[in-house]
Amino acid sequence: MTLPDNPLHWRIALVGYGEVGRILAEDLRRQGVLVCACDLKVGVGDTAIARHAGDFRVPIFVDHATTLEGADLVVSAVTASQTLAAAESCAAAIPPGAFFLDFNSASPGTKIAAAGLIEAAGGRYVEGAVMTSVPPHRCKVPLLLGGPHAAALAPALKALGFAPTLGSEKLGVASATKMCRSVMIKGLEAMVIESFTTARAYGVEDAVVASLYETFPGIDWEKQASYFFQRVIEHGRRRSEEVFEVAATVREAGLIPWSAAGTAERQAWMADLADAGTFGRRDQAGFARSTDWRDEADRILATLKTKE
């Protein structure tokens, strides 16, 4: 398979059309790049996905075979738990020689297994580790690439507007970097939610926050806490799946993931509350948009009281 010399003339297939998939579609389509996508939710009548895809002229399908037909680059951006399943489905349809960029937050072991499926089918697997939250940076989110085909793909990604950095040619290293970072970042989110909500229950939140400012004066704890609450409320399900993969990464290193496993449970717990409507309906503009974390903590505490 011979790819067009100009990456802007590539055909790009997005596997997964959630928040990340949509952002990538928007940025690529604004450059005139041909993009198609697949998402299983299309098959169950998700009108928001269909509407967005229509607005940006992105053909969207349920099946991988149609989506990947003639693709030069496949970008897998599914939830962490679906990383391997997505690779397996794509392996049955990927054009020989096409690049497969795995954007997903999965453990090194999962990425290596996914690479084996794609490589066996004739595709060129590239491990991608997204090193911070996508929305503020969009396509230019810091992206650490890994694997033997990373160097070949990096220039094309830059031409497409991405911000890749070459990591190790050894598969799993980029993901290990991402996962170890997430032990801290996702763990801090969970700790802040647990600490601040408990402090609010006891009426000692102002004293706790003041003490944190004194100990760590470089962090705006009020602003950071509100941001953490918002992100976890809105994306707790995806984040919990990622941290279960973080826990798997810790296990693969031979350690017991006490911290990561607890973080995953807390993130999933918040997702359950959000699904139950604790923070308002997801289709309302006010959902997870409070500028004061206390509002969200009060909603959590009120929900817990009703269950007593």
Residue intervals of the chain classified under CATH 3.40.50.720 are 7-171
Q: Residue 137 half-sphere exposure, CB side, CA atoms within 13 Å?
A: 14
pLDDT at res. 38: 94
Strand order in the sheet with 34-38: 60-61, 34-38, 11-15, 73-76, 99-102, 124-130, 142-146, 163-166
Contact 265, 204 (CB under 8 A): no
Please, what is the average pLDDT of the chain? 93
Could you give phi then psi for residue 73, rounded to 5 degrees? -140, 130
The dotted CATH code for 7-171 is 3.40.50.720
Q: Given a cut of 50, is residue 285 above it in pLDDT?
A: no
| 42-99 tens-digit pLDDT | 766 678 888 999 999 999 999 999 999 999 999 999 999 999 999 999 999 999 999 9
pLDDT at res. 284: 47
pTM equals 0.88
Helical residues (DSSP H) of the chain, grouped into ranges = 19-29, 47-55, 64-68, 83-91, 108-120, 134-137, 150-159, 173-202, 205-215, 221-252, 258-275, 293-306
| Minimum mean pLDDT range among 147-161, 172-186, 226-240, 283-297 | 283-297
Residue intervals of the chain classified under CATH 1.10.1040.10 are 178-306
Q: At the topology level of CATH, where does 178-306 sit?
A: N-(1-d-carboxylethyl)-l-norvaline Dehydrogenase; domain 2 (1.10.1040)
Q: DSSP per residue over 26-85, as a string?
A: HHHHTTT-EEEEE-GGGGGT-HHHHHHHHHTT--EES-HHHHHTT-SEEEE---GGGHHH
| Minimum mean pLDDT range among 111-115, 129-133, 286-290 | 286-290
Whole-number Å distance between alpha carbons of 87 and 278: 35
Greatest pairwise CA separation for the chain in angstroms: 65
